[in-house]
Each structure stands twice: as structure tokens, then as C-alpha cells.
């Protein structure tokens, strides 16, 4: 199922991003360092909630109950929104840091929106499979777009 693989790739991307950002901050601007700190503090919870979402999606294959998936995605969305809020509150003085911050915020927003579409897809699957497939397809597209933004931001912050 491509939706599960895509969700896992988001998890992996966020884990890689956190490792890349955990490097030394010597010579970095204060705003760059504060954004890295905000990300590093928030990503453990994001990874944990995303793992739970992947597990709930896997369990859905046998239970066909969307409630667990919806709850897990809601927790992942909450964690992502918290990280987004922390990043948004950080200063960004230099143009490269402003661009990185903007890309991070856009990327996280796209992933949040994708998770919302994915949750809708699982809720609609039982009543309207074609609508569910359309929602899932939209979610995959938004996850890819979000991943791209986050990757670009990480490069700028490295």
C-alpha cells in the first residue's frame, strides 16, 4: 500500500532531519541555532506519533476500524503543529535562514494537511471507496510536497 510506504518515508525523513540538525552549531547564527533547537526538541514526539500512525494503519488492514487510525493521525498532527509553532516563533535574520524557516513551515503544513486527507480517506473507505482513494491520493501528493520542502530547509540549515 503506497500510503503506508509514504507515511513511513515521512517518518524516516523527519528522523534524518533531526540527525542532520543535531550537528554542531559553531559559527551558526543565533536564529539558525534556535530553529535547530526547536526542531530537535519536537522531533522525538513527531517520530513517536508517526510510528503509532503507521502501526494503526497496519492494524486497519485486519480490523477495518478507522477510529484507531484517526486517533493516531490526530496525535501526529498535534505533534507536527507543535513543532511548526515552535519553529514559527524563532527569529530568522539572514535571508538563507528566513528561506529555510519558510520552507520548514510550508513543508510541515503540507504534511499536516496530508495527514488530514489521509484520515478522511480511512473514514470514507467503508462508505465511498472512490472518494477514499481520491483523498488518499491527495494525501500522498501533499506528503511528497511537504517532504521536498523539509529536505530543502534542512539543506539550508546544515
**What are the pLDDT digits (tens) for 87-117?**
999 998 889 999 999 999 999 999 999 998 8
C-alpha cell at 106: 510550508
Characterise 23 by phi-psi region: left (phi > 0), alpha (psi -120 to 50), beta (else).
Answer: beta
Q: State residue 127's pLDDT score.
A: 73
What fold, for 2-21+31-157?
Answer: A middle domain of Talin 1 (1.20.1420)
Q: State residue 43's pLDDT score.
A: 86
**What are the pLDDT digits (tens) for 37-63?**
998 899 899 999 989 988 988 888 888
* pTM to 2 decimal places: 0.79
Instruction: Show me where the domains of the chain are located.
Output: 2-21+31-157
Amino acid at each position: 500500500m503506497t500510503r503506508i510506504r509514504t507515511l513511513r518515508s515521512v517518518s524516516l525523513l523527519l528522523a534524518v532531519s533531526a540527525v542532520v540538525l543535531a550537528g554542531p552549531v559553531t559559527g551558526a547564527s543565533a536564529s539558525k541555532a534556535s530553529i535547530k533547537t526547536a526542531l530537535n526538541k519536537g522531533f522525538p514526539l513527531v517520530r513517536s506519533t508517526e510510528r503509532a500512525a503507521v502501526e494503526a494503519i497496519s492494524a486497519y488492514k485486519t480490523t477495518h476500524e478507522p477510529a484507531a487510525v484517526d486517533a493516531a493521525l490526530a496525535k501526529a498532527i498535534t505533534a507536527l503543529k507543535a513543532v511548526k509553532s515552535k519553529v514559527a516563533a524563532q527569529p530568522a535574520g539572514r535571508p538563507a535562514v528566513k528561506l529555510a524557516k519558510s520552507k520548514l513551515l510550508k513543508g510541515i503544513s503540507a504534511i499536516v494537511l496530508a495527514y488530514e486527507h489521509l484520515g478522511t480517506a480511512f473514514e470514507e473507505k467503508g462508505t465511498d471507496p472512490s472518494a477514499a482513494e481520491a483523498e488518499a491520493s491527495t494525501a500522498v501528493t501533499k506528503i511528497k510536497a511537504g517532504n521536498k520542502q523539509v529536505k530543502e530547509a534542512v539543506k539550508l540549515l546544515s
